[in-house]
């Protein structure tokens, strides 16, 4: 495969159009099915979990989160914070609770974070919002035993940016025990010249500032103990697959606890949708990571 800098605009835009690579459905159909799966899944989560909706984490209208709690929440509860995808321009927390059912049934709380998607929010605003959302949760729920992050696609980049935060500017330093980054984009430079950037209007400096692959030393400094799972779908585009592989390698070279999951028989969309199913491979990966990291080894 050619380096992205050598690709014509048309090829680069195809590489960054996840819907064109699905083996299950046509491009419009796969997006419609994705929206339906996430919305219906979130509706179901609301019916099986106790919910705390629209909890503010900041002053802004869009700075709210939804919490899906187990029916019998425990003191030392585990919490998973989910950062949704949608190319920084689609979706909200209203479609982001779908992974809750198999987790709340095991006593794990799920938090769906809202952030101001473009054009309202810029990349810097979104990164600041997800960072503050995590700080706020950790501050408000100081009794929780472990905090985990999960992000999909654009949310994978935002979750990686949370791990790469200099927390000295915040009131708390969250102890994030693990993160599952699903089909993320870790280098924003290739998308600058594509349609993805039309509403974002990122400059090269903006893209550099928010590219996790360029912030590995920061992640190592602030999230050394965090276990990271970099996940990619078998039918993600070659560029998406390269992005995940290279981010994984950069973390591994830095000596971090990181693993790579190439999920067979999935595309960019159902690789995350299926987290609503307890038998799905990635649900089991997530549960295993929690079991492994939440026991104390003292
Ligand atoms: N042009 C993009 C659109 C896209 O990624 C998307 C569109 C609607 C809702 C979610 C999307 N992407 C990932 O969550 C594509 O071809 O997939």
Distance CA 185, CA 241 (A): 9
Residue 296: pLDDT band (50, 70, 90) is: low
Residue in 35, 84, 87 to alter for ligand 1 test, most ligand atoms within 8 A of Cβ: 87
**Is 277's pLDDT higher than 50?**
yes
Strand, helix or coil for residue 125: helix
pLDDT tens profile 122-131: 999 999 999 9
Active site includes 187? no
Residue 143: pLDDT band (50, 70, 90) is: confident
Q: 80, 212, 239, 100: which is closest to 146 by C-alpha?
A: 80
Average pLDDT, stretch 84-101?
A: 98
Tell me what pLDDT residue 297 has: 47
Q: What is the pTM of this model?
A: 0.97
Burial (CB count <10 Å: 0-12, 13-18, 19+), residue 223: buried
Sheet holding 146-152, edge to edge: 50-56, 64-69, 108-113, 78-83, 146-152, 176-182, 227-233, 258-263
Residue 145: pLDDT band (50, 70, 90) is: confident
Residues with CB under 6 Å of ligand 1 are 17-20, 27, 31, 85-87, 90, 153
Distance CA 218, CA 202 (A): 22
């Amino acid at each position: 495969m050619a380096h992205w800098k050598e690709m014509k605009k048309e090829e680069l835009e195809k590489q960054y159009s996840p819907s064109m690579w699905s083996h299950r459905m046509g491009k419009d159909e796969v997006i419609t099915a994705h929206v339906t799966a996430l919305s219906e899944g979130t509706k179901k989560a609301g019916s099986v979990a106790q919910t705390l909706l629209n909890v503010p984490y900041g002053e802004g209208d869009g700075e709210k989160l939804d919490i899906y709690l187990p029916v019998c929440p425990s003191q030392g509860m585990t919490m998973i914070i989910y950062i949704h995808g949608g190319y920084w321009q689609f979706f909200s927390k209203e479609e982001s609770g779908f992974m809750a059912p198999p987790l709340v049934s095991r006593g794990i709380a799920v938090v769906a974070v809202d952030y101001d998607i473009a054009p309202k929010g810029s990349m810097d605003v979104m990164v600041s919002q997800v960072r503050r959302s995590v700080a706020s949760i950790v501050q408000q729920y100081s009794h929780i035993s472990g905090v985990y992050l999960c992000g999909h696609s654009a949310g994978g980049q935002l979750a990686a940016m949370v791990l790469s935060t200099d927390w000295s500017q915040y009131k708390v330093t969250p102890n994030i025990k693990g993160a599952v980054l699903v089909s993320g984009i870790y280098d924003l430079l290739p998308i600058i010249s594509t349609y993805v950037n039309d509403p974002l209007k990122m400059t090269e400096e903006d893209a550099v500032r928010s590219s996790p692959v360029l912030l590995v030393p920061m992640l190592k400094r602030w999230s050394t103990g965090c276990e990271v799972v970099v996940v990619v779908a078998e039918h993600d585009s070659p560029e998406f697959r390269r992005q995940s592989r290279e981010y994984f390698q950069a973390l591994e070279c830095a000596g971090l606890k990181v693993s790579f999951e190439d999920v067979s028989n999935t595309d960019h969309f159902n690789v995350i949708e299926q987290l609503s199913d307890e038998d799905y491979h990635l649900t089991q990966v997530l549960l295993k990571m929690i079991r492994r990291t939440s026991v104390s080894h003292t």
